Amino acid sequence: MAIVQLKDICKQFDGGEANAVDHFDLTTRDGEFVVLVGPSGCGKTTTMRMIAGLEEISKGELWIGDRNVDGIPAKDRDIAMVFQSYALYPHMSVRENMAFSLKLKKRPKAEITKAVNDAAEILGIQNLLDRKPKALSGGQRQRVALGRAIVRQPQVFLMDEPLSNLDAKMRVEMRAEIVKLHRKLGVTTFYVTHDQVEAMTMGQRIVVMRDGYIQQIDAPNALYERPVNMFVAGFIGTPSMNFLKARVDDASQRLIGEGFSIAMEKAHETALANHLGREVWAGVRPEHLDLVTDANAGTTDNQLTGTVEVIEPLGAVTIVQVRVGEHIVTAELDSHTSLAMGDPAALTCDSHKLHLFDAASEKTLLETSDSGKRTTGDAKTTTA
């Protein structure tokens, strides 16, 4: 267990123009579960490989515990990594796979046997110890890969998209299992994924990355409630947040666009003080939209009107896409909605849950949490 400090780390590949990872700055808590999340090519795996010692750090310092590990070879960094492909040694049995690192360290036989058996017990794979990886299912291989990391009793776990090769059901199962395992062992863990659901459900803190830059570091709920820019807002949450280009109308104190009109909150007035009469992005999550019916017609004057284009019943809820002006607005509605394709529909939203972003910089205009604010200083926020 250790605190890991990444101090202003940059990575530039040979022949690459831009930094693959740009000024990555993060200090973990002891035993924290940190998730690095972002679309492919955002630098999350490169960051992890630098921590592992598989890639050199171009600039910056990396501390694990009280050691600067720059120049310390991977095997002496006291870390263990779980690979996306599991990277089990195909010619070795499960037992040999797990024992390999200890065997190289020339630990006594009895100690190795005990360590392997203990790890196998934690993961429930005692009955697989004499099998070859080939004879295992995906979930079992995943457990063996975790076991190989556990036996070393490292200070830091690194997991590189460990669940992406599993089927959906197994993924949910292993997700819970890894979280439980982390709670039991209390080892500082870095977990890389491109799946925001995995990030939200597993991470104590989440680092959202894009194009090598950190966008925001925050707890799952803070990311959801107070995204610092449109990228984070759109990345976290399914279905994604709707973005509407709206004009801030001074006279009526409303956000107005084609097909919709939303009243401003008190909090918005200060946020939008400099944007009166100009355009901003209004963000609203699909789960915060509701259908206007006879019952609630009088209680709200926030209206988004358009025609229904797509209806996706999911059982518990129904996802509806409504064309509002030039925008397609996705709404998560009650599953008993009577809407049909082509129907006119009126949606309403809660102004409290509205997000506002600058039209040019795409940064939030609302209050952010402290940790969020600190990390957005040089964040790159233009959309591609």
Partner 1 sequence: MAHPNKQRSKQAAARLRSAALIGPAAVYLFIWMIVPLAMTVYYSFRRYNLIEPYIKGNAGFSNYANIITDPNFIAGIINTLILVVSCLVLTVMIGLAFAIVYNNDHVVGKNLLRTFAASPFFIMPVVTGLLWKNLMLNPSFGLLAALQRALGISPIAFLSKVPLASVIGIISWQWTPFAMLVLLASLSAIPEDIKEAAYLDGAGAWQTFRYIVLPQLGRSLYAVIMLETIFFLVIFGQIYVATSGGPGNASTNLPYYIYLQAFSSYDIGAASAGAVFAIILANIVAIFLVRMISANIREDS
Binding positions for partner 1, rule: CB under 8 A: 52-54, 74-75, 79-81, 83-85, 87-92, 100-101, 104-105, 148, 152
CA atoms of 181 and 147, how far apart (whole Å):
11
Which CB sits closer to partner 1, 63 or 83? 83
Query: Cβ 339 to partner 1, closest distance in Å?
Result: 49
Query: Cβ 85 to partner 1, closest distance in Å?
Result: 6
Which CB sits closer to partner 1, 42 or 52? 52
Query: Cβ 91 to partner 1, closest distance in Å?
Result: 4
Which CB sits closer to partner 1, 107 or 380? 107
Which CB sits closer to partner 1, 63 or 100? 100
Distances from the Cα of 353 to the Cαs of 69, 268, 361, in angstroms?
44, 11, 21
Query: Cβ 37 to partner 1, closest distance in Å?
Result: 21
Query: Cβ 28 to partner 1, closest distance in Å?
Result: 19
Which CB sits closer to partner 1, 84 or 201? 84
Amino acid at 188: T
Which CB sits closer to partner 1, 108 or 342? 108
Query: Cβ 136 to partner 1, closest distance in Å?
Result: 15
